[in-house]
């Protein structure tokens, strides 16, 4: 019967049908739009990442000179066992010859070799000072002061062994840092001005004003402690104050001077190229036999200009003397004897430099790594050549492998963008392309389509003026590909300046693409603006869906109430009908 619709299940069915109908009519179109905007937003996010990767390599390809990744050079050697070469982009292609006659080596001093357990000539506790002077590599010198402190605990029965003394010297040298300690002063200075603190060539101007030494030193300490690689402290002894400056980076030297007043003289801190011993030499103790000990001191850098110039005990000290190394400026030759060795230098100064014949010229260098003969090239000397060994050729050429890889990377990233847009700009029987009708996608596709076919304006047709002359072809479906690898290799090897110009000239491929793609990227770019619009649209649709869902729910509730009223009225009618039927039945009976 029709009134079956007004049963509870019937009403539920009617209300549900109403809700489904309203949702299909009011919500489904909004959900469809929302899904499209979400898909576009996701697709734009992925496209933006791919486009950024492409733009990054495009920027690299727009660089000029040695900054261009296409200017990469490589070094080659006809016999890398003797000498090899690496090349930077600044290097000029060409070939040179070299013969290695001698390798550079570090200066080396050896002490005497006394019995390890025998008593040293050092007999009392106290501090011994000695000075090491070494070459600075450029014809100048470094000076380093070393303190070796012996305490009562170092002695047993008033004696200390030779081995223990050598170990103390070794430790003092290897941990030594350059330290300048001023005079201990009280009272005030009338001078004001500034002085230069030169740390390894970097000059810092330290200013001061007249005042008590304590206050002036405080000011200097604050200024010096702002300089990396050096530290300062004030030492207070009763009414007196001292300034102590420590070079914390042992590889750096310290020079203090150029005082416009008199403070440097008053403090007694003037110094020239003071350097920590650990930055100049390395000390080591070893046992040439099971019963003897020996101390070696080796220059950290090789070559004549970095040699040890002097080893001298300071007045009142005898720690170097105790091991036979108080040599002063003399270059006593080390002699290994059957008895006690004669302390001294192992190598003559003539053996310290590398000796080579370069393009027919006899040359010497401090190091086996040579950077000043070939611009942008670093030569590494490996071993000495015999007269019968063929002369070694060192070549610098365009790095075909590196340049080719960069161009291939460009092709890959170009295709990544191109095929992404292309695939989503076409429809199938089942789906409409996501980017169909999208302005940004169609504009980008047009830009990418035009580049591979174009000749670069401003470059002569007799030169490399298109990608096709590099062996790169274009397919409208799959993008660019390197179809002739040999053609590209030949262009890089013989006409690399033209290859670079093809990409980075004013109208070059990379320059043009970069300028046209760049507006699509960044926080204010076309893609970001579109994504903002997508997000705004999605938020608006969400609000509309929420509002419409609310109206549908309210309408469904009203409809349900109306049906329930009808249900109630129907129940009343049915009850009345039943009563009349009952009465009629009774009457007839």
Residue with tokens 């069915």, as numbered in its chain: 13
Residues in Cβ contact with 129 at an 8 Å cutoff, skipping those fewer than 6 apart: 145, 146, 147, 148, 313, 314, 317
The answer on pLDDT for 2 being more than 60 is: no
Which of 28-37, 142-151, 353-362, 401-410 shows the lowest mean pLDDT across its residues? Answer: 28-37
Tokens matching residue 286: 């070893």
pLDDT at 178: 92
Q: 3-state DSSP call for residue 420?
A: helix
Q: What is the tens place of the pLDDT at every residue in 435-472?
A: 888 888 899 999 999 888 889 999 999 999 999 999 99
Q: How far apart are CA 96 and CA 289, in angstroms?
A: 48
Q: What residues form DSSP beta bridges with 342?
A: 335
What's the mean pLDDT in 127-151?
94
Band (pLDDT 50/70/90 cuts) for residue 269 is very high
What's the rounded Cα separation, in Å, for the pair 400 and 26?
A: 63
Spell out the SS3 assignment of 438-505.
Answer: CHHHHHHHHHHHHCCCCCCCCCCCCCCCCHHHHCEEEECCCEEEECCHHHHHHHHHHCHHHHHHHHHC
Express as a percent the part of the chain with pLDDT over 70: 97
Q: What is the pLDDT of residue 425?
A: 84
- What integer is the mean pLDDT of 122-131? 94
Q: How far apart are CA 154 and CA 149, in angstroms?
A: 10
- pLDDT surpassing 70 at residue 5: no
d(CA 33, CA 22): 17
Residue 380 pLDDT greater than 60, yes or no: yes
In this predicted structure, what is the pLDDT of residue 552? 82
Q: What is the mean pLDDT of residues 465-490?
A: 94
Report which of 160, 169, 60, 71 is spatially closest to residue 117, judged by C-alpha positions: 160
Q: Tell me the pLDDT tens digit for each residue of 280-321.
A: 999 999 999 999 999 999 999 999 999 999 999 999 999 999
Whether residue 65 has pLDDT greater than 60: yes
* Residue the block writes with tokens 């035009």: 450
Confidence of residue 43 (pLDDT cuts 50, 70, 90): confident
Please work out, in degrees rounded to the nearest 5, the angle formed at the alpha carbon of residue 76 by the alpha carbons of 70 and 81.
Answer: 150
- Write out the H or E segment, with its range, that includes residue 354: strand 354-358
More confident residue, 295 or 587: 295
Question: Tokens standing for 273?
Answer: 């190229």
Whole-angstrom Cα distance, residue 24 to residue 20? 6
Name the least confident of 275-279, 541-545, 562-566. Answer: 562-566
How far apart are alpha carbons 195 and 198 in whole angstroms? Answer: 10
In whole angstroms, give the CA distance from residue 436 to residue 466: 30
pLDDT digits (tens, 9 = 90+) for 196-220: 999 999 999 999 999 999 999 999 9
Closest CA to 296 of 347, 251, 249, 253: 347
Residue 299: which residues within 8 A CB-CB, separation 6 or more? 106, 107, 108, 134, 280, 281, 306, 307, 308
- How far is 513 from 57, CA to CA, in rounded Å? 11
pLDDT tops 60 at residue 118: yes
129, 147 contact by CB (below 8 A): yes
DSSP state of 71: G
Residues near 387 by Cβ (< 8 Å), separated by ≥ 6? Answer: none
Sign for the pseudo-dihedral over CA of 569, 573, 579, 582: negative
**Whole-number pLDDT of residue 1:** 40
Q: Over 70: is that where the pLDDT of 557 sits?
A: yes
The mean-pLDDT minimum among 221-225, 367-371, 382-386, 518-522 falls in 518-522
How deeply is 44 buried, as exposed, middle or buried, from its count of CB atoms within 10 A (0-12, 13-18, 19+)?
buried
Q: How far is residue 133's CA from residue 140's CA, in Å, rounded to a whole number?
A: 10
Question: Following DSSP, what letter does each residue of 132-162 receive, concatenated?
Answer: EEEE-SSS-EEEEEEEEEE-GGG-BTTB-BH
Which residue from 284, 266, 252, 78 is spatially nearest to 163, judged by alpha carbons? 284
The per-residue pLDDT of the chain, averaged, comes to 92
Q: Is the pLDDT at 34 greater than 90, yes or no? A: no
Average pLDDT over residues 53-70: 94
The conformation of residue 240, written as its DSSP 8-state character, comes to E
Of the candidate ranges 133-137, 176-180, 562-566, the one whose mean pLDDT is the lowest: 562-566
Counting every residue written for the chain, the total comes to 589
- At 589 the pLDDT is 60
pLDDT surpassing 50 at residue 499: yes
């Amino acid at each position: 019967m029709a009134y079956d619709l007004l049963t509870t299940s019937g009403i539920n069915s009617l209300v549900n049908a109403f809700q489904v109908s309203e949702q299909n009519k009011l919500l489904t179109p909004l959900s469809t739009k929302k899904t499209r905007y979400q898909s576009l937003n996701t697709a734009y996010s992925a496209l933006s990442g791919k486009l950024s990767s492409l733009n990054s390599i495009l920027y690299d390809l727009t660089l000029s000179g040695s900054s261009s990744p296409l200017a990469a050079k490589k070094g080659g050697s006809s016999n890398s066992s003797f000498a090899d070469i690496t090349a930077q982009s600044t290097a000029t292609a060409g070939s040179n010859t070299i013969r290695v006659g001698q390798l550079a080596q570090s200066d080396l001093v050896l002490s005497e070799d006394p019995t390890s357990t025998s008593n040293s000539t050092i007999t009392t506790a106290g501090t011994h000072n000695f000075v090491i002077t070494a070459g600075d590599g450029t014809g100048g010198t470094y000076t380093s002061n070393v303190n070796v402190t012996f305490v009562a605990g170092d002695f047993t029965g008033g004696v200390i062994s030779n081995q223990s003394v050598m170990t103390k010297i070794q430790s003092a040298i290897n941990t030594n840092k350059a330290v300048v300690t001023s005079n201990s002063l009280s009272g005030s200075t009338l001078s004001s001005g500034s002085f230069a603190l030169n740390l390894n060539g970097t000059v810092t101007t330290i200013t001061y004003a007249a005042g008590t030494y304590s206050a002036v030193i405080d000011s200097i300490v604050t200024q010096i402690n702002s300089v990396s690689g050096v530290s300062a402290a004030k030492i207070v002894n009763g009414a007196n104050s001292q300034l102590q400056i420590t070079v914390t980076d042992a590889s750096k030297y310290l020079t203090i001077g150029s005082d416009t007043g008199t403070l440097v003289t008053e403090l007694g801190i003037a110094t020239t190229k003071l350097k920590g011993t650990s930055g100049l030499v390395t000390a080591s103790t070893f046992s040439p036999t099971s019963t003897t000990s020996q101390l070696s001191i080796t220059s950290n850098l090789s070559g004549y200009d970095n040699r040890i110039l002097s080893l001298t005990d300071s007045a009142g000290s005898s720690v170097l003397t105790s091991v036979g190394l108080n040599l002063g400026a003399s270059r006593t030759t080390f002699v290994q004897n059957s008895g006690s060795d004669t302390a001294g230098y192992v190598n003559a100064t003539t053996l310290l430099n590398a000796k080579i014949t370069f393009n027919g010229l006899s040359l010497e260098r401090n190091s086996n790594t040579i950077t000043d003969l070939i611009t942008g090239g670093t030569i590494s000397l490996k071993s000495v050549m015999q007269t019968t060994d063929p002369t070694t050729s060192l070549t610098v050429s365009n790095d075909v492998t590196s340049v080719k890889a960069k161009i291939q990377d460009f092709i890959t990233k170009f295709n990544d963008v191109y095929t992404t847009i292309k695939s989503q700009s076409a429809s199938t029987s089942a789906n409409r392309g996501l980017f169909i009708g999208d302005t940004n996608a169609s504009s980008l596709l047009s830009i990418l389509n035009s580049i591979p076919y174009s000749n670069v304006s401003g470059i002569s047709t007799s030169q490399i003026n298109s990608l096709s002359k590099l062996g790169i072809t274009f397919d409208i479906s799959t993008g660019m590909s390197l179809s002739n690898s040999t053609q590209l290799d030949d262009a890089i090897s013989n006409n690399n300046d033209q290859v670079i110009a093809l990409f980075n000239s004013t109208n070059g491929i990379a320059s043009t693409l970069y300028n046209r793609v760049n507006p699509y990227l960044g926080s204010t770019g076309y893609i970001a603006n579109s994504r903002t619009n997508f997000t705004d649209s999605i938020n608006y649709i969400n609000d509309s869906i929420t509002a419409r869902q609310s109206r549908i729910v309210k309408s469904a509730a009203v409809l349900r109430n109306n049906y329930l009223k009808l249900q109630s009225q129907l129940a009343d009618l049915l009850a009345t009908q039943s009563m009349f039927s009952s009465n009629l039945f009774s009457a007839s009976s």
